[in-house]
Chains A and B, each alone.
Chain A
Amino acid sequence: MKYGLFLGCNISFNRPDVEAAIRSVSPLLGVELDDLNGQSCCPTWGTVPSVDTIAWCAVGARNLALGEEKGIDLVTACNTCYSSLSEARYKMLNDAETMREVNEILKKIGKEYKGKSKCRHVAWVLYRDVGLDRIKKAAKYELDDIVIAVQPGCHFLWPSKVLPDREEDPFNPVVLRELCKVLGADVRPYTRMIDCCGAGALKSTNQEKSYKLAKMKLECIRKETDADLIVTTCSSCLIQLDEAQEMLRKRGEIDFSIPVLHYVQLLALCMGFDPERVAGICVTPRDEIISKIVESGRK
């Protein structure tokens, strides 16, 4: 199992602890990672996708071609990268003219994209390629008394037709819940599980409206699950639920604090990696949950 690790901007610069986590757990799970030197932004929505479809696909194709040249698929821990690259690939595969125009541009930098390599989501690689058994065996700590609410994130689910791996029912996703359950956690469903967290362009356009969505989701989690921990597979959701939550709490709009982790961080913690490295960056405090995992969750 070899993949090109596609980092994306958020993880590279804002949440490198997620990068550290994925790099830590992969070898122990039999996953070999290639650095895909020279990769760029996926491109994210606010950049070239807002300008032109061909430009969107061209930037995406260049990134995908880095894997294709080595005969490997990409793997990412960011939902935006997953979605942008998948949608670009879908457009190119379903419209020969788009593919042709994109390759004309790629030719100018001596590259070509044939449509073979795709970008996989780390959650799907863990679920399908590594397998729940191997994950269970690799974990040192069991999340016995820990209640988890999951946030799969929009771009993990929609539009399902462009994604390389699909939930059987995207409106009732199970993959992330299964991944958490295998670590021993009590995963509880809640009404607004598939709703948007409010990150991305909504946040940069109108922070208050963005917080409104985050608050709606957090209150729902609190009320319906009383979770100890929120686990997501998306770097944007991770930042939003972590940062917006602390802001809302400081303003007195909410009176609780639920730590947020990316799934690979949770996995790295369970596998015994140094919390400082694999889960060291946050606003909403994580210390308590981390010590709970490490101290009381020993198998």
Chain B
Amino acid sequence: MKKPRIGVYVCHCGENIAGAVDVKKVREFAEKLPDVVVARDYLFMCSDPGQELIKKDIRDGLVDRVVVASCTPKTHEPIFRRACEAEGLNKYYLEMANIRDQCSWPHWHEKEKATEKAKQLVASAVAKARLLKPLEDMFVELNQDVLVIGGGIAGIFAALDIGNAGYRVYLVEKNPSIGGNMAKLDKTFPTNDCSSCILTPLMVDVANHPNIELLTYSEVESVEGTVGKFRVKVRKKQTWVDWEKCTGCGACLDACPPKAMVPNEFNEGLDTRGAIYIPFPQAVPRKAVIDIDACIKCGGREFGEAPRITRDGKEILAPCEKACPTGACSRTEPKNPEGEVVELEVGAIIVATGYRVMEKTHFKELAAHSPNVITALQMERLISATGPTEGKLIIPADIPKYKAWKKKGRGEDIELRSPEVITFISCVGSRSRKYHTYCSRVCCMYMLKQAMQLKESYPDLEIYISFIDVRAAGKDFDEYYMRCKELGVKIIRGRAGGIQELPDGRLLVRSYDSDIGKPVEIVSDLVVLATAIEPSSSELARKLGISLGVEGFLREKHTKLYPVDTLREGIFICGCAQGPKDIPDSVAQAKAAASSAMALLSKGKMRVEPLIAEVDMEKCSGCGICAPLCPYKAITIEHDGKRRAEINATLCKGCGVCAAECPSKAIDLHGFTFEQILSQIEVFAEFEEA
């Protein structure tokens, strides 16, 4: 065999390496290592002139193995591999020694030792380079369908972008309708468009899109496989209403008896809904479902039971069944608590599961028990035309009287009280070491938005916003804040620390204005708490095998460079599931996630590094130890009808678990063979002895 000719290229990385490691000494040391024909150093090896040093040596026939001692292969291996490839050298003849992240940075204050360690790392890389073998890339086929989880504004945009590009999309939403939290908002900053007006057409687009299959009232059960070939089980919950027949007429809603009323999620619990319900007027799909937990089982009839028959042979139907003009509503349908499981195969997954807002109950010091202390999302519902009072501004304590008031006709007996003074309180649960340390990012702006909306509709309202500081960092946001101030909204610069309920139900808000430097008190009829945005449940992340940050939001691969990627290839994230953000940012991220998924899938196949495990059939005893250990289920114990381990190359991720465990040493991992790894360890042992 021809002797390898190794070139070693030591990078200064500006001062990043050279600040701790004596680069010249490392280079001189490398020159004397076996099979090394040349060693060079340069300020930035990854720069064009740096790469040219390597390329020229290959071109001139000087070297046929390349060792780069620099930073991490995670970011830079592709660059140097391309440089080798460009000069016709197999790119797997490259080996990197990380003398920055693993040497100069951690040993910044121990210069001599750092230099010694750098020498060891280089020697070890050279030892491996001597044994490198050329490898060829592989390609795997990809399924080009995409699964989007979550039907809020982020999920909707991701689905539409991908669907519009011609790919098939499955959009899974756990609620009966898509729309998410945005559907609950009345208006949206900084332009004050009506939320429904801009959202509803998008929801309808999704429902009518030929490339989008909508799976509402459904949840992801499990996810297996890898990028290009995820196998997903989706569980569709039982609705007890045949959606093929349901026209969304709503006749059943009024039939449901008052005893079955439960807090209405869409109105954030400010009023109630029946056990059979359509989430909101613009719901997509506009279909009814029966909430089996809320249902009082009229007539004592269990779900799945056929109705009793009267003496004259008539069925005794439940009120909802009776009211349904199309026969869609049927409690007779066999009970299926597990729901229907749909199996999908997709190439990529976008997670857009959104957020929930923190409930007020945690904040006892802010009179959470008072009905007139509400969260900001409740305030959205209170001022919305589709809200519990159809947009009529009254104090929340009087909401239960609203329906009666409306029925009786205006001006009769029942009096609804309108607020004269409203106080908003910022950072409730955000920027807190008791609850969430992060800033929820949207509260300052939505408080200003609600205040502005109120002030425009009711100029005589006294409105106070108790801010720690006003964070209005988006485009056109500070101007929005100032416009709000000019409308007469008063800013108290300090976070309220106490609210006491007065005998008449009003609220004494106690805050502190740091501008003046004194405590302030204000009697308010209504207090709005800007409670924190919280991540939705972590259950799904576990099923997907993607990680969460300490606060429970989905973690991106890299905050700046890969903001919508996850560590699991083929799974992307967007919207508030990734962290608190406003609508413009959610939409931008959704579009980014859609583009990233499409960039991955568009070619229909994917390049895979050949750094995978292979079985030597001569040595394999067919013991089967390896198969259950493989986290990717890539090993079967059958080969040509014999009991031998066989590795599926498209499933193998090259983790090396099988190779390490094989008692016959029959499995080797390309790029990390026993021989190569032992040669590296031997080098360290030699240093140890010396």
Check whether chain A touches chain B (CB < 8 angstroms): no
